[in-house]
Chains A and B, each alone.
Chain A
Amino acid sequence: MTQTRGNRAALVSIVLILVGIPTSILGYQYWLRPALAEHRVIDIATRVPENGGFSPDLVRAEVGETITLRFAVDDVAHGIAIGPGLDIDLGQIDPGHVGEITLTLDTPGIYTYYCNTWCSPSHWRMRGILEVVDPNASGSADAPSDPIIEALIAASVDIDAEPQLSEGILPDRSHGEQSFETVEVPPNLLDPTWRLSHTPAEGLVALRAKNPGSGDDVLTDVTAYLWSEPTPTIEIKELFAKNCAACHGERGAGDGPAATSTIETPVAFADVAWFRRGDIWYAKIRRGGMGTDMPNFGTLFTVEEARLLVDYLWYLSFK
């Protein structure tokens, strides 16, 4: 390099630019930023499952530790949520954006961070495990078993049996609501636990026994009203829209945009509801359908959310 003052200054500038820019970018991102962060930061690359899904897909933390999770999305919009029971939903993160959440978990257990916006044919596989351990406790706790599912297994009920179609039966729950006062309802039909393990068809049989004079159409409507009585909340409607509608359709008619890509066609709830037990729906939601491409949501939703979803399925079936 010809030695002049101008050239020296220019050379320094070049080195600053060509070496300084990459170094400062990488240095800031991988050294300075984590060093200045108050808590442990975990960067999670977020892509469709075909291109790696969440990576890492396993995060370990200690009870009471504050961590920051940063989801960097690259390909399509993903909805990031963490469950069960944490009420954490980062909303949709668009490509080129980073969704960040700082959390402190006080209860040990296995949590799941998952995508709740349809993003690919393998969308339901897009999950990662957030394992929160108590360093003082010995051994790892087993996932608590679900009493409802246990009861079904104990009674040898085949959760995956082909559902019976309720052909021709079209109950109207609003008529049922109007006629509700005029019929005599046996007390067990008013008990949600009984309704959970019995089909509406069985409910109709019980109603017929108590109301020999009433017509079947009135009693059918009242049965429908009984089974779908609670009005769904906005939260449950959104939960269904985000997690279920892509396959099962906005109104549960089995016509969602992803319905053609699953191994078995997603069921239209109204078609099978009449001969359906609520606890079987509950079991399918929590542990998935075996090999049908119905995902298991047990690690994503709380027990309460799953039960409210079952109520919502009745609501969609008998509108």
Chain B
Amino acid sequence: MTENPKRPVVARRATLLLVVLAILLVPIPALHTTGSRDIVIDASQYEYSPSRLNINRGDTVNVTLAASDVVHGFYLDGYEIDARIEPGISQQFTFTADRSGKFRYRCSVACGPLHPFMIGELVVGPNEPVLRASVLAVVAVAAILLGARKRRSA
């Protein structure tokens, strides 16, 4: 007698777990061809231009860094690329965007008061992390609300 009320709960919990795992782990196919991109990033107080870059996962990116007013730095989250850019002396480096998501690039040389907020964004698409997290959020809210309805309905 006591088993029956528990079974639907266990079944519901198991379904929820499967759904969550699916959201987190199911691979999203890449509907693009990878290639090579040449990008010039210019640093000035307190922005990078371009301040937001969209590239495809798997692309090989050749970056030229330049500074136009004072010495700036360039640190790319997640890739541990750290460069120091002096006005008039440009630099180049290449990397392959093997992970999707948003990776901020930040100034790593103090360049004035707003230095800690001198940030640009590199978005490697399709942006799986934000998709997965958003779907998870929606599913979580739906699950909680539906669970409440089930709990109290006669």
Instruction: Give Cα A75–Cα B110 distance, bound, in whole angstroms.
Output: 8
* Interface mask (B52-92 → A, CB under 8 Å = 1, otherwise 0): 00000000000000111111000000000000101111100
Chain A stretch 70-97: residues in CB contact (< 8 A) with chain B: 75-77, 92, 94-96
* Inter-chain contact B110/A94, CB cutoff 8 Å: yes
* Inter-chain contact A258/B88, CB cutoff 8 Å: yes
Tell me the smallest distance from the CB of A132 to a CB of chain B, in Å: 30
* Inter-chain contact A77/B68, CB cutoff 8 Å: no
Which residue, B66, B86, B88, B90, has most C-beta atoms of chain A within 10 A? Answer: B88
Which residues does chain B contribute within 8 Å of A247, judged by CB atoms?
A: 88
B35 within 8 A of A: no
A249 within 8 A of B: yes
Q: Contact size class for B?
A: 10 to 19
* Inter-chain contact B88/A76, CB cutoff 8 Å: no
- Nearest residue (CB) in A for B43 is A257
Which residues does chain A contribute within 8 Å of B68, judged by CB atoms?
A: 257
Q: Of the 9-residue stretches A116-124, A192-200, A284-292, which lies at the interface with chain B? A: A116-124
A241 within 8 A of B: yes
B20 within 8 A of A: no
* Inter-chain contact B69/A257, CB cutoff 8 Å: yes
* Inter-chain contact A77/B71, CB cutoff 8 Å: yes
Instruction: Give Cα A246–Cα B67 distance, bound, in whole angstroms.
Output: 10
Tell me the smallest distance from the CB of A234 to a CB of chain B, in Å: 14
Which residues does chain B contribute within 8 Å of A306, judged by CB atoms?
A: none
- Nearest residue (CB) in A for B70 is A76
Which residues does chain B contribute within 8 Å of A120, judged by CB atoms?
A: 69-70
Where chain A touches its partner, the secondary structure class is loop
B109 within 8 A of A: yes
Instruction: Give Cα A95–Cα B88 distance, bound, in whole angstroms.
Output: 20
* Interface mask (B111-129 → A, CB under 8 Å = 1, otherwise 0): 1100000000000000000
Instruction: Give Cα A241–Cα B71 distance, bound, in whole angstroms.
Output: 13
Chain A stretch 88-139: residues in CB contact (< 8 A) with chain B: 92, 94-96, 117-120
- Nearest residue (CB) in A for B111 is A76
* Inter-chain contact A77/B109, CB cutoff 8 Å: yes
Which residues does chain A contribute within 8 Å of B89, judged by CB atoms?
A: 241, 245, 250
> Which of A75, A94, A95, A256 interacts with B87 by CB under 8 Å?
A256
* Inter-chain contact A117/B86, CB cutoff 8 Å: yes
* Inter-chain contact B90/A250, CB cutoff 8 Å: yes
Instruction: Give Cα A250–Cα B69 distance, bound, in whole angstroms.
Output: 15
Instruction: Give Cα A117–Cα B72 distance, bound, in whole angstroms.
Output: 11
> Which of A119, A242, A249, A256 interacts with B70 by CB under 8 Å?
A119
Which residues does chain B contribute within 8 Å of A118, judged by CB atoms?
A: 69-71, 86-88
> Which of B66, B67, B69, B88 interacts with A241 by CB under 8 Å?
B88
A118-B88, A241-B88, A246-B88 are contacts. A96–B71 as well, Cβ < 8 Å? Answer: no
- Nearest residue (CB) in A for B113 is A75
Which residue, A94, A119, A257, has most C-beta atoms of chain B within 10 A? Answer: A257
> Which of B66, B71, B84, B90 interacts with A119 by CB under 8 Å?
B71
A241-B89, A250-B89, A256-B87 are contacts. A77–B67 as well, Cβ < 8 Å? Answer: no
Instruction: Give Cα A242–Cα B71 distance, bound, in whole angstroms.
Output: 12
* Interface mask (A202-223 → B, CB under 8 Å = 1, otherwise 0): 0000000000000000000000
Given contacts A76-B71, A76-B111, A118-B86, 20 further A-B contacts (CB under 8 A): A76-B70, A77-B70, A77-B109, A92-B71, A92-B84, A95-B110, A117-B71, A117-B86, A118-B70, A118-B71, A241-B89, A244-B88, A245-B88, A245-B89, A246-B88, A249-B88, A250-B89, A257-B67, A257-B88, A258-B87
24 pairs from A and B in contact (CB 8 Å cutoff)? A75-B112, A76-B111, A77-B111, A92-B84, A94-B71, A94-B110, A95-B111, A96-B110, A118-B71, A118-B86, A118-B87, A119-B70, A120-B69, A241-B86, A244-B88, A245-B88, A246-B87, A246-B88, A247-B88, A249-B88, A250-B88, A257-B69, A257-B88, A258-B88
Shortest Cβ-Cβ A-B pairs, 4 listed? A245-B88, A77-B71, A246-B88, A118-B87
